[in-house]
Structure 1
Amino acid sequence: MAAHFLGYDSIGIEWDRNACETRYAAGLPTIHADVSVMRETRFHEIPSSVEVLTGGPPCQSFSVAGNGAGRRALETVKEFIHRLVEGKDEAEVDKDLHALGDPRTALVLEPLRWLLKAIETEGRDPYKVIVLEQVPAVMPLWEVYAELLGGGEGRLNGVKYETSCWKLKTERYGVPQTRTRAVLVARRPGQGAVEPPETTHLPFELRRGKGATDADGLLPDSDIPRARRPWVSMAQALDAASKSDGSPLDVSRLVQDGKMQFFVVSNYGSGGDPKKRGRRLASQPAFTVTGKVSRNRVYRNQAEYKAQRYDRFTIPESGVLQTFPHNFPWSGNDQAQQVGNAVPPRLGMYVLSKALRGNAPSAAELAAATTWPAVPRATTDQLRAFGCGDQSRCPPDSHKISPPRRKPSP
């Protein structure tokens, strides 16, 4: 989506059928496939004109919220990276990766394997730019990537990159949500050093412990540098989106006494105690939007909280907190998971613009990114035929529809 708003064409490879349906509805060319299979047997289907490789390997096994298999295997995965570059037997590498338990952990190596495939395939050029994104726990792996790509040794055949690794806070780029991401940018030499995108907003810092109040994180005007704007709040983002033409957002239920002054209770508890779950005010950025965003409880006041009368964010509202356009055509099932899995498009625009053009997205590009263009049904059908036309090549059982459950006899 960031590429689209910056004027670049792209093609996606997506395992999840539901995410594919959303992409088809949005007019985004997508192949419904396993990235490993595409690399091994269908690499020729990717146009040779593709110059940029972007990837976000699944984060669950590395993230704090996941089962932690990836974090425990970090040192082992580093070893695999070196083995691939040094030209070790890939079948043996795959066997050892499989033994790690969580197959998603191995996918963090796919961007490297795609680069090696491009280098070793006749008629292909190495990617000019590589952009990878993950949870902060993966930063040690990105640093290994950066070191190897900068050396050009082994199977890289002398192909070198200028590299940089960043930890970026989303609220510092105008995203109404706190979320830290680890980003690797690698660029072929000749374009200068790779610098991180300059921040545009203040960080959100919330004090915890005794004496902390709901107003913590709100900086007085005297503490705001002139070059930085305050972070964007949930109320600001939702209110602006609700006023756009054709917006599906109706935030009137969140308004009290003429303004939005709700608070959100996180779906994550502290030691399983719901009373210790975090809170965010409407005047603050949202918690990190995860696939469980629909479980967050929204209250207008303390009386509703005591009575446990709460609301939920809708899918379009959750998308807006991720900086998706208000009218983005979410489709398929598991839409909350789709929203939570995504990179905030606004952050993506800052990263891609810096990596590809060396500057920040323009004000006009950022403004245009608040609305998604209408996509004709015929275009969606054509993209589905392109991405899923031969369902035998889609991931196994991905198009299998479970029969409806029968109600038990009385």
Structure 2
Amino acid sequence: MILDLFAGPGGWSRALHVLGVRDIGLEWDEWACKTRAAAGQLTIRTDVAMYPTWPFIGRTRGMIASPPCQAWSMAGKRLGLLDQPLVHAAVEDLAAGRDSRERLLAACRDERSLLAAEPMRYLHALNTVGEPDWVAMEEVPHVLPLWKQYAAVLRRWGFSVWYGILNAADFGVPQTRKRAILLASRVRTAQPPTPTHSQIAEPDSLFGRGRARWVSMAEALGWGATDRPVPTVCAGGGPGGGPEPFPSGSRKTLSDARERGTWMPRPDGVCLQSRREGAGWAARHGTRENRAADAPAPTFTAEAHRWSWSLRSNNQANATVRPLSEPAGTLFFGHRANECTWIAEPASPPAMDVDAPAVPEPIRITAREAGILQTFPADYPWAGNKGQQFSQIGNAVPPLLAGHLLAPHLGVTLDSDDFTLAA
């Protein structure tokens, strides 16, 4: 079997499913478990820290873990940062078969801190029978020193180990999400997967295949021109009646994009209206406050083409803002899910004698859109209310990245086309 600790809503499990394998996930969160159940994933709802290891001994081929890492979190009050020495102490003791968790937990500022040491408890138990064959672990970049400690223990046990920082965008994920990764194997040399994408496309050469350009949000979501910003479309009536509504330059841009196969119109959409439309927009499509978490975003067409759309990660001054023609920044949600919004700016400066158009209201990202940017399929069955769905999405490993990490250990070839996103 493949054991998945802190399995969440199924990022690793989704990757394994695409690769033709199943895992057993241990997860505590009620809504993540409901999402997993709806997705058909095997799950034991339990506290990973309390569950015994003996049921897995003699049965485990691979082990996956994405443990909570409050001791390395930069969010909130950061009390967990003071617990880092205690986490390292717990890993050292568990690797030697000593269970000091109760004593160390009493000294922790954050009761969740020691969860980052739990994978070592399972690894020590499995190692007594020469298992598992391989290990894959993932967390935020600040956790790399902890992975270094895990790596030293695993090497003593005969594993080949690699650990480092990978950018999900380099593997086709439409998000510049950096993660600390640990890969270990008893049967092959552990090494990172070969990147398939880069910020600037690289052609094939005598030294090997090239790399495609990073996948943009527009391409992943199926909105407009996927390889460049959409052309500006003006309101008007042509000769004698204002600017031509779809001038020849824009027509050629659209035609060229279609010929390249890089224009994907949003199906079944609606035209985004500006604030000038008032109550009409709210009556037809709902206000920002009552828009359903799984409702499709308004189509960026017609009137909306006057705007250049970007995704803003939150409402702080240092928020990451990325245009649709680029990958998203790392998606953080939790209690601030409603601050992640699509925002508009004029695609071109208004004429001197024309009033500046009213800027459309920011539009909150939907769970469907956020899931796609994490490379979950558009119809993935997220359970819970908006906050619960966004929390699951933000904490999940992108399935496409997970697929690149897992495929070599499973002895299968990854086909990125199998990770269907937009429906």
Give TM class, smaller chain. Answer: 0.7 to 0.9
Cα offset, 1:268, TM superposition: 4.9
Counterpart position of 1:168: 166
Counterpart position of 2:63: 53
Cα offset, 1:279, TM superposition: 1.8
Residue by residue, what CA displacement relative to the aligned partner does 1:285-335 show, whole Å, maximum 9, x if unpaired? 112112244421212334999757111111111100111001111112310
1:9-408 matched pairs, under 5 angstroms: 9-39=22-52, 43-44=54-55, 46=56, 48-88=58-98, 90=99, 92-120=100-128, 125-152=130-157, 160-188=158-186, 190-191=187-188, 193-203=189-199, 224-226=202-204, 227-239=210-222, 250-256=296-302, 261-270=308-317, 277-291=319-333, 292-302=336-346, 309-333=361-385, 334-357=388-411, 361-362=414-415, 366-370=416-420
Change (3 A) 1:57 1:283: same
Q: How far, CA to CA, are the matches of 1:164 and 1:244 in structure 2? A: 41
Q: How far, CA to CA, are the matches of 1:149 and 1:143 in structure 2? A: 10
Q: How far, CA to CA, are the matches of 2:152 and 2:194 in structure 1? A: 24
Contact 1:61 1:71 in 2 (8 A): yes
Contact 1:14 1:35 in 2 (8 A): yes
Instruction: Please give the secondary structure, in 2, of the residue aligned with 1:73.
Output: helix
Please list every run of 5 or more consecutive structure 1 residues that lacks an aligned counterpart in the other structure: 153-159, 204-218, 271-275, 374-410
Cα offset, 1:195, TM superposition: 1.3
Change (3 A) 1:281 1:350: same
Instruction: Please give the secondary structure, in 1, of the residue aligned with 2:161.
Output: strand
Residue by residue, what CA displacement relative to the aligned partner does 1:364-394 show, whole Å, maximum 9, x if unpaired? xx22221699xxxxxxxxxxxxxxxxxxxxx
Q: How far, CA to CA, are the matches of 2:358 and 2:313 in structure 1? A: 16
Change (3 A) 1:243 1:268: same
Q: How far, CA to CA, are the matches of 1:268 and 1:350 in structure 2? A: 33
Report the AA paired with residue 214 of structure 2. Answer: W
Q: How far, CA to CA, are the matches of 2:126 and 2:26 in structure 1? A: 16
Residue by residue, what CA displacement relative to the aligned partner does 1:10-50 show, whole Å, maximum 9, x if unpaired? 1111110000111111111111111122126xx42x48433
Change (3 A) 1:300 1:19: same
Report the AA paired with residue 407 of structure 2. Answer: S
Q: How far, CA to CA, are the matches of 1:267 and 1:301 in structure 2? A: 17
Change (3 A) 1:256 1:281: farther
Counterpart position of 1:3: 16
Q: How far, CA to CA, are the matches of 1:138 and 1:251 in structure 2? A: 35
Q: Percent identity?
A: 33
Contact 1:174 1:346 in 2 (8 A): yes
Please list every run of 5 or more consecutive structure 2 residues that lacks an aligned counterpart in the other structure: 1-13, 205-209, 225-263, 270-293, 348-355
Change (3 A) 1:84 1:277: closer
Give TM-score scaled by structure 2 length: 0.70
Counterpart position of 1:399: none
Report the AA paired with residue 168 of structure 1. Answer: L
Change (3 A) 1:76 1:132: same
Cα offset, 1:245, TM superposition: 9.6
Instruction: Please give the secondary structure, in 2, of the residue aligned with 1:133.
Output: strand
Q: Which moved more, 1:347-356 or 1:57-66?
A: 57-66
Greater per-residue strand proportion = 2
Greater per-residue helix proportion = 1
Instruction: Please give the secondary structure, in 1, of the residue aligned with 2:328.
Output: coil
Instruction: Please give the secondary structure, in 2, of the residue aligned with 1:262.
Output: strand
Report the AA paired with residue 229 of structure 1. Answer: A
Contact 1:350 1:360 in 2 (8 A): no
Counterpart position of 1:214: none
Give TM-score scaled by structure 1 length: 0.72
Instruction: Please give the secondary structure, in 2, of the residue aligned with 1:34.
Output: coil
Report the AA paired with residue 253 of structure 1. Answer: T
Higher relative contact order (CA 8 A, sep 6+): 1
Q: How far, CA to CA, are the matches of 1:305 and 1:353 in structure 2? A: 50
Q: CA RMSD in A?
A: 3.1
Cα offset, 1:2, TM superposition: 0.8
Cα offset, 1:202, TM superposition: 1.0
Q: Count residues with an aligned counterpart.
A: 329
